[in-house]
């Protein structure tokens, strides 16, 4: 069975942890032990988040500018995205390889993803990226760099568009590698956001962040995955989360799930991706905890999103 697993950012960087290479390595080791169980029995394709890592690189760039006390053009988001794909892919390849037979091939594909210039997201940037600033500094940086900044709690941060993924440029080599038995790591962080110019001939990176779950959904559909697993830090999708009435969903039709309200910044994107995959592929999407991966594959854990039957089944 061909399974696409989308690793949430929490699988690589726990909330509240210092953003060190050592901590990230430890978290990847934990994830690799679970993913190896899948790879030993199934075809495994992986995607991952990169939010904390891009944020760290942004902080480093900011610190450098302050150190040299001169105007330094920040590294663009597409370049930061490419850097994190290589860094995270390297750690996953190595630690997953330590859990599997040496002859099992594993490859990270630097993945560019096309977005539409007419996507409505460009009219209202909403995705926070990079360091926090006070209001005066944020306004200065916005003016100097052409940024859009918005309040994030009591501080201010840069915001960029989050357009929908349209096309994965490296999908052919991804498929070739899968056909040769390779575990493929692709569309890291949602992919490097790219766009053609008006001539339709020149491709370039843009300042945007593609949602990792939607890009992973596109990847799962393109490689004809039989299972799309969104691994997060909760055991299932809950209604009335955080209240005494909280209930976990075992199986649900995407139409039913789409009518429910979830936080757009966390579970909402995962729900949207799972519903899209189930509707367009006719296959199962599952949202659940990485540590339950064995049970999830056997339908014993997580929330299954499927068009197989109407209604809701509860735990």
Contact of 131 with 138, CB cutoff 8 Å: no
Q: 10, 49, 50, 130: which one is catalytic?
A: 10
- Is residue 33 among the annotated active site residues? no
The percent of the chain in helix, strand and coil, each rounded to the nearest 5, is 40, 25, 35
Reported residue count of the chain is 315
The token pair at 196 is 């053609």
Distance CA 301, CA 292 (A): 7
Retrieve residue 232's tokens. Answer: 């997060």
Q: Write the Ramachandran bin of 173: left for phi over 0, alpha for psi from -120 to 50, otherwise beta.
A: alpha
Active-site hit among 9, 81, 188, 288: 9
Catalytic residue among 55, 191, 212, 288: 212
Query: Is residue 14 annotated as part of the catalytic site, yes or no?
Result: no
Provide φ and ψ at 194, rounded to 5°: -135, 160
Q: Is residue 193 helix, strand or coil?
A: strand
Known catalytic membership, residue 9: yes
| Cα–Cα dist 219/175, whole Å | 10
127 among known catalytic residues: yes
- Tell me if 289 sits within 8 A of 229, measured CB to CB: no
Catalytic annotation, pick one of 49, 81, 127, 191: 127
What is the C-alpha to C-alpha distance for residues 230 and 228, in angstroms, rounded to an integer? 7
**Which residue of the set 270, 283, 288, 302 is catalytic?**
270
Question: In angstroms, rounded to a whole number, what is the distance separating the alpha carbons of residues 39 and 107?
Answer: 13
H-helix or E-strand spanning residue 228:
strand 227-232
Catalytic residue list = 9-10, 127, 212, 270
């Amino acid at each position: 069975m061909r399974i696409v697993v989308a690793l949430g950012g929490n699988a690589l960087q726990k909330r509240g942890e210092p953003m060190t290479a050592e901590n990230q390595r430890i978290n990847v080791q934990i994830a690799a032990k679970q993913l190896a169980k899948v790879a030993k029995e199934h075809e495994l394709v992986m995607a991952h988040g990169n939010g904390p890592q891009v944020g760290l690189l942004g902080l480093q760039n900011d610190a450098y500018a302050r150190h040299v006390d001169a105007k330094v053009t920040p590294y663009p988001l597409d370049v930061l995205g490419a850097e994190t794909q290589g860094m995270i892919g390297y750690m996953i390849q190595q630690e997953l390889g330590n859990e599997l037979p040496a002859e099992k091939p594993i490859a990270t594909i630097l993945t560019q993803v096309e977005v539409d210039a007419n996507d409505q997201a460009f009219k209202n940037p909403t995705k926070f990226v990079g360091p926090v600033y006070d209001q005066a500094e944020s306004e200065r940086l916005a003016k100097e760099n052409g940024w859009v900044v918005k309040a994030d709690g009591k501080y201010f941060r840069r915001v960029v568009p989050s357009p929908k993924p349209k096309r994965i440029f490296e999908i052919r080599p991804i498929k070739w590698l899968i056909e040769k038995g390779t575990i493929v790591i692709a569309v890291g962080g949602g992919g490097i956001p790219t766009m053609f110019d008006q001539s339709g001939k020149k491709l370039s990176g843009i300042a945007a962040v593609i949602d990792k779950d939607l890009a992973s959904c596109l990847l799962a559909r393109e490689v004809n995955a039989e299972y799309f697993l969104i691994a997060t830090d909760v055991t299932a999708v809950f209604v009335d989360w955080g209240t005494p009435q909280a209930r976990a969903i075992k199986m649900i039709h995407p139409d039913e799930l789409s009518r429910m309200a979830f936080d757009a910044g966390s579970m909402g994107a995962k729900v949207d991706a799972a519903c899209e995959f189930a509707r367009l592929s006719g296959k199962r999407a599952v949202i659940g905890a990485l540590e339950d991966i064995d049970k999830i594959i056997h339908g014993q854990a997580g929330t299954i999103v499927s068009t197989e039957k109407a209604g809701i089944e509860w735990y």
